[in-house]
Amino acid sequence: MSRSVKTVVHIACDLGLIVVAGLLSILVRFEFTLPDQYLLIFIRRLPILASIRLICYYIFGMYNQLWRYASVNELVTIVEAGSVASVFDWLFLHYFQGAGFPRSVTLLMWVFNIALVGGLRFVMRYYRELLSRKGLGPGRGGVLARGPKGSPTLIIGAGEAGNMVARELRSHGELPYKPVGFIDDDPAKVGYRVAGLPILGSRKDLPQIVRRYSIKQVIIAMPSAPGTVVREIVDLCKGLDVSLKTLPGVYELIDGRVSVRFIRDVQIEDLLRREQVKVDLESIAGYLGGKRVLITGAGGSIGSELSRQVARFKPAELLLLGHGENSIYEIEMELRANHPDLELVPIIADIRDHDKIDRVFERFRPEVVFHAAAHKHVPLMEANPDEAITNNIFGTWNVASAADRYGAERFVLISTDKAVNPTSVMGSSKRAAEILIQTLNWRSKTKFVAVRFGNVLGSRGSVIPLF
């Protein structure tokens, strides 16, 4: 049914309800009799009254709303439009009429119009939800689909977000979720129902509820919950054979709305519940575009992410240098797929090989260098201090001195927070590397800088996956 046809049907329904509301008002006022005198006045004024009321409904946007999604906001609109229309009812039946039309009838017309017009819309919404509960709700493309028949799903959090998630899941039968109920830490809520689903218990009851109702999916619907709460829920779900999903944190819900499309697997950053710090490459885009850029350690966690970010700014040539052939191959294939026009040069080399590094700079003359190649594991470097020294210090010197000799414009050393008052071999070696490039910066035309990273979310061997 087209939108124009639907609007005509809606107007016709409202017109019928206006007539019914007027007749009911007269019947109630005169103890279910229809006095000819007042009935005749009403009928004569009906075309004007109905026209003005429908115009008010239209102006207030009642014909731009989907009835099956009627909510409190729509009810407020109906009350506002009905009240304005009732003012005109009073004017035409009392002020302009001058025949002593009962004022109580006008008041009853206001009540009945709002009740009937609003009631019809909420009946449509209830009918839609009833079909959904019985597995006959509308699926994709407007076709009736069986649902919800997905995995039994438990929603953690019976607040606004949980309520909205439950309603959407129940109205989208094509999704693999069958909501069973909620758990919430507010003891006053336990035993009540939200969106037609029971609140089964609190967080401490999670294992028992999962087993009792054969839960297969758990959705954390608490966007503002701190990381400690998320971590506790993750721990409680261990060993329960359930798939754990979540909504994004508050900082991700930019428009303030919750939708089933936001539901995703729990990620590392959810354990922090704050926005992760990202490298601000936008501010340096000016000196990357059209330049020859070399990234050492390009196959590592930080080096590969730098490669992805630098590729966005269309450098003239991107040199991917690394010691491990598999990791360099993987990042090269990824970048070729995502940036087919980018000039990529994979280089297998050890930064400790002075001659090889010199040949690389002599041949490609990189203008910007990101030096991310390093040994970073603290315990391993304690056990192998010679590797930390030769790689993190001598290797950095080979790359940095080559950048100086061949006139690179910028050199960025990826360092670590463990270089601050170092107490480990790894930290000391990185601090020594910082001192080297600081020394070069004093006398070189190349601009040498160092940036210190802490634990990087999702990087290989970082502390969060270990914890």
Residues with a catalytic annotation lie at 418
CA pair distance 266, 442, nearest whole angstrom: 47
- Sequence letter at residue 162: G
- Which of 68, 180, 185, 52 has the alpha carbon at shortest distance from 126? 68
3-state secondary structure of 313: coil
- Sign of the dihedral defined by the CA atoms of residues 441, 308, 416, 398, in that order: negative
List 152's β-bridge partners, or say none: 178
CA pair distance 456, 17, nearest whole angstrom: 63
Q: How far is CA 428 from the centre of its chain?
A: 41
Q: How far is CA 166 from the centre of its chain?
A: 17
Q: How far is CA 33 from the centre of its chain?
A: 59
- For β-strands 193-194 and 197-201, DSSP reports them as antiparallel
- Sequence letter at residue 354: H
Q: Residue with structure tokens 């721990």? A: 235
CA pair distance 220, 214, nearest whole angstrom: 17
CA pair distance 180, 196, nearest whole angstrom: 10
Token pair of 11 as six digits: 């107007």
3-state secondary structure of 266: coil
